[in-house]
Structure 1
Amino acid sequence: MSSIYDVLLERGYVKQLTHEAEIKELLEKEKVTFYIGFDPTADSLHVGHFLQLMVMAHMQKAGHIPIALIGGGTAMIGDPTGKTDMRRMMTREEIEHNGNCFKEQMSRLVDFSDGKAYMLNNADWLLDLNYVNFIREIGVHFSVNKMLTAECFKQRLEKGLSFLEFNYMLMQGYDFLELNRRYGCIMELGGDDQWSNILAGVDLIRRKEGKPAYGMTFTLLTNSEGKKMGKTEKGAVWLDKNKTSPYEFYQYWRNVNDADVEKCLALLTFLPMDEVRRLGALKDAEINEAKKVLAYEVTKIIHGEEEAEKARSAAEALFSGAGNLENVPTNTINRSMLNMSLLDVLVELKILPSKGEGRRLIQQNGLSINDAKVTDINRVLIEEDFAQGFVLIKRGKKNYNRIVLE
């Protein structure tokens, strides 16, 4: 039987390790408590977090204990990683609400019952720190010269890095130290953009406690062109069904590039790797079957089997004339919106992000109403459009919405 380290390696998660041989042996022979940090800057996780949840789920299934650490303290400063501008500081109430939303979403993959996993908030130890004591105890172990070589700081130096943000690495390192002291946590995991911060924590524990600590990063969820996945014309692909409907979520994965199918199946589903490789090897029209499997499996993990079935049925209704059209994302309008500009209606319903986007779609023959191309940017929505009981809007080749009249 392969170890969890071999599973993570085979599925393509592992990017960098602080102590490869030791980590491999540790994960094979011991039950390890590890943590991953989550920045509570929104009230939902998004596709970028999904991969981290999958790692937590795989690790937990192998008997290891996850800690999901909500950055309630650090979110009041802002992580400069991957950002060109300083993040907005948040209130405690916002952070607590967002953390509660995260836990509900994480619970689909991670079992938090009976000490099998923990959700903690670093505000519990960061907000009451005495600054002078903190700098004396922690700051003495950090070299400014070394910190400035970290990629997260390099990117910000050109525009100006505030001292507020410069503290972030110290705080994240201190998080690891506190979790080590309180919960025996010996490993920090995270996306590869967190490598510098993870190294800081590993080094701090070894210096302060004289004990081993480890770090592992996993690959970021990018497409074959190296761009981060999880963005659409309407913004981020969220795990909250009220922000991104299960149908839209399903369609996002149904429409991934052919070159990304095998990678997504490996990273974002629990399908055996033999099946992942078989599906990933399909070519031309057959790769669409692999995309359907990917979309269904991913939607089932995040939204449950019932929603995945509905999304699949809606997709079949639109593309093959079978299935239930009622599961297509639906908006209801009242009669006061009749005879309004179609673009105004679509923007108000958030089907389109802006009228400018609508005009661009029309110019590119990418917007249809009831299977008829919209060619006039001043086209209005009239009662006759609802002859079949609803209006079907199509954006691009594969994005559909229904509009129902009250």
Structure 2
Amino acid sequence: MHVDPTLLDDLEWRGLVAHSTDREALREALAGGVRYYVGFDPTAPSLHLGNLVQILTARRLQLAGHTPFALVGGATGMIGDPRESGERTLNSEETVREWVGRVRAQIERFLSFEGENGATMVDNLDWTRGLSTIDFLRDIGKHFPVNRMLARDVVRTRLEAGISYTEFSYVLLQSMDFLELHRRHGVTLQFGGSDQWGNLTGGVELLRRADGVRAHAFATPLITKADGTKYGKTEGGALWLDPEMLSPYAFHQFWLNAEDEKVGELLRIFTFLPREEIERIEGEHAEKPFLRLAQRTLADEVTTLVHGRRETEQATAAAAALFGGGDLHALDPATLSAALAETGTVEVAAADGWPAVVDLLVGTGLCASRSEARRTVAEGGAYLNNERVPDAETVVAERDLLAGSLLVLRRGKKRFAGVRLT
């Protein structure tokens, strides 16, 4: 199996190694080819931005010649998602089972399951389902000194407020996953987010204590905005990868709105563009940031990775059309609806006849009053479906409807709103 000897250098240049076990030992292991794993707990119906860092990192390692094992935690998912300020929310077995299937399907799109280093999907429910409490305590628990567990950040910060045994002992379960994957498949490397560093090193230590094996781990950084706050939220909620939970248009817009200070970092972490091209884009962006070349490249690359080229083209066309640069009638109905949902869509009942543009301008909030709406039209600043409105009393007709029920009103160059006729 041929491996890329520059992998670790590339990961470090991209800022993907926040912590690691012995760096030179890790480099030596990667030089010979490793079997590695990364875990995902199904604590929601979809993965999100933070998970995407891990998925793409797994893909980088596979492309460099290493063999991936993607773990979807049917067992640890039963415990729920960790929270900084309180206990986890426990989900039913039926719910977790459904989420396992959805999460697996999302991960599978990014890895190759063919060839010498084809990926393998695993589920920790396979080795925990029949495990007795006594066996767990004898075989796993004896290797974890309580004083070391008390020193972990996630435990220390929760001791005063209180922490359940479930939360306290989670590190044992994740560490056991590493041990089982080593014994079953020869896995010697684990990675995850920096908030998982205590669990990652717990697994490395368990392999050393239980089997005398030297294992390796590294952690990717927490992705933050320029002010230090977490990424992963849009105006409507989390940045989900499932198009049913967050439209490809909204996903594309999120990346398009990346801060100038952070866009270079995001290009390195979330795209597979080579170093020379990213540095060229950063240089052009520094000279002419108003062209937003870096943001447009980032949005197109990541949206294509997650949702495909067609959805990227639709999202780009929708943004252009909404701001007057394209044909609204040519847009896919789902994309147009998603785009208008981001800006707000006003429902108007047409039972008493087709409404006049002047009333729609007021009803959507683009104008504060009918007199302001008439003035806007008279000054040439009102548009219906990107066509300038000649008369404020113009009444919309069935031929104006987009996707059977939608209208797009715009005031000036940048203010627009959707109308859904019911």
TM-score (norm: length of structure 2): 0.80
1:16 aligns with 2:19: yes
Structure 2 counterpart of 1:305: 309
CA contact (8 A) 1:330 1:403 kept: no
Aligned with 1:215: secondary structure? strand
1:26-58 Cα deviation digits (max 9, x unpaired): 112x22111111110111111111111110110
Structure 1 counterpart of 2:205: 203
Aligned with 1:72: secondary structure? coil
Q: Judging changes above 3 Å, is the alpha-carbon distance between structure 1 residues 403 and 128 closer, same or farther for their aligned structure 2 residues? A: farther
Instruction: Tell me the number of residue pairs that the alignment of Structure 1 and Structure 2 aligns.
Output: 367
CA contact (8 A) 2:348 2:420 kept: no
CA contact (8 A) 1:36 1:188 kept: yes
Structure 2 counterpart of 1:348: none
CA contact (8 A) 2:179 2:203 kept: yes
Single out whichever of 309-318 and 199-208 deviates more from structure 2.
Answer: 309-318
Structure 2 counterpart of 1:85: 86
- The alpha carbon displacement at 1:369 in A equals 7.6
CA contact (8 A) 2:408 2:419 kept: yes
Structure 1 counterpart of 2:421: 405
- The alpha carbon displacement at 1:78 in A equals 3.3
CA distance in 2, matches of 1:393, 1:43: 35
Q: Judging changes above 3 Å, is the alpha-carbon distance between structure 1 residues 370 and 220 closer, same or farther for their aligned structure 2 residues? A: farther
1:54-86 Cα deviation digits (max 9, x unpaired): 101100001111111112111222354x52121
1:316 aligns with 2:332: no
Structure 1 counterpart of 2:282: 280
CA distance in 2, matches of 1:179, 1:166: 23
Structure 1 counterpart of 2:104: 103
**Which residue among 365, 373, 378 is the counterpart of 2:366?**
373
- The alpha carbon displacement at 1:398 in A equals 7.8
CA distance in 2, matches of 1:125, 1:289: 49
CA contact (8 A) 1:79 1:168 kept: no
CA distance in 1, matches of 2:240, 2:292: 23
Instruction: Specify the structure having the higher radius of gyration (Cα).
Output: 2
1:189 aligns with 2:191: yes
Aligned with 1:68: secondary structure? strand
CA contact (8 A) 2:48 2:238 kept: yes
CA contact (8 A) 1:84 1:155 kept: no
CA distance in 2, matches of 1:273, 1:155: 40
Q: Match for 2:212: what amino acid?
A: G
CA contact (8 A) 1:69 1:121 kept: yes
1:7 aligns with 2:14: no
Q: Match for 1:51: what amino acid?
A: V
- The alpha carbon displacement at 1:233 in A equals 2.1
- The alpha carbon displacement at 1:157 in A equals 2.2
Q: Map 1:250-269; keep pairs closer than 5 Å.
A: 250-269=252-271
CA distance in 2, matches of 1:393, 1:91: 46
- The alpha carbon displacement at 1:323 in A equals 5.1
Structure 1 counterpart of 2:126: 124
Paired-residue identity, %: 37
CA distance in 2, matches of 1:3, 1:370: 59
CA distance in 2, matches of 1:323, 1:143: 66
Structure 1 counterpart of 2:337: 330
CA distance in 2, matches of 1:402, 1:176: 51
Structure 1 counterpart of 2:182: 180
**Which residue among 14, 31, 53 is the counterpart of 2:33?**
31
Q: Map 1:119-268; keep pairs closer than 5 Å.
A: 119-268=121-270
CA distance in 2, matches of 1:211, 1:265: 36
- The alpha carbon displacement at 1:227 in A equals 1.7
Aligned with 1:34: secondary structure? strand
CA contact (8 A) 1:31 1:64 kept: yes
CA contact (8 A) 2:20 2:218 kept: yes
* Gapped regions of structure 2 (runs ≥ 5): 342-346, 351-360, 370-393
Structure 1 counterpart of 2:353: none
**Which residue among 295, 313, 331 is the counterpart of 2:299?**
295
- The alpha carbon displacement at 1:404 in A equals 3.8
- The alpha carbon displacement at 1:188 in A equals 0.8
- The alpha carbon displacement at 1:372 in A equals 5.5
* Gapped regions of structure 1 (runs ≥ 5): 341-367, 377-382
1:94-135 Cα deviation digits (max 9, x unpaired): 222212212222233211346611111111112321111211
1:317-372 Cα deviation digits (max 9, x unpaired): 12352255624441799xxx6459xxxxxxxxxxxxxxxxxxxxxxxxxxx88985
CA distance in 2, matches of 1:164, 1:135: 14
Q: Match for 1:21: what amino acid?
A: E
CA distance in 2, matches of 1:399, 1:180: 57
- The alpha carbon displacement at 1:221 in A equals 1.7
Q: Judging changes above 3 Å, is the alpha-carbon distance between structure 1 residues 159 and 293 closer, same or farther for their aligned structure 2 residues? A: same
Q: Judging changes above 3 Å, is the alpha-carbon distance between structure 1 residues 79 and 166 closer, same or farther for their aligned structure 2 residues? A: farther
Q: Judging changes above 3 Å, is the alpha-carbon distance between structure 1 residues 146 and 384 closer, same or farther for their aligned structure 2 residues? A: farther
Q: Judging changes above 3 Å, is the alpha-carbon distance between structure 1 residues 196 and 371 closer, same or farther for their aligned structure 2 residues? A: same
- The alpha carbon displacement at 1:230 in A equals 1.7
Q: Tell me the C-alpha RMSD between the 2 structures.
A: 2.9
CA contact (8 A) 1:250 1:299 kept: yes
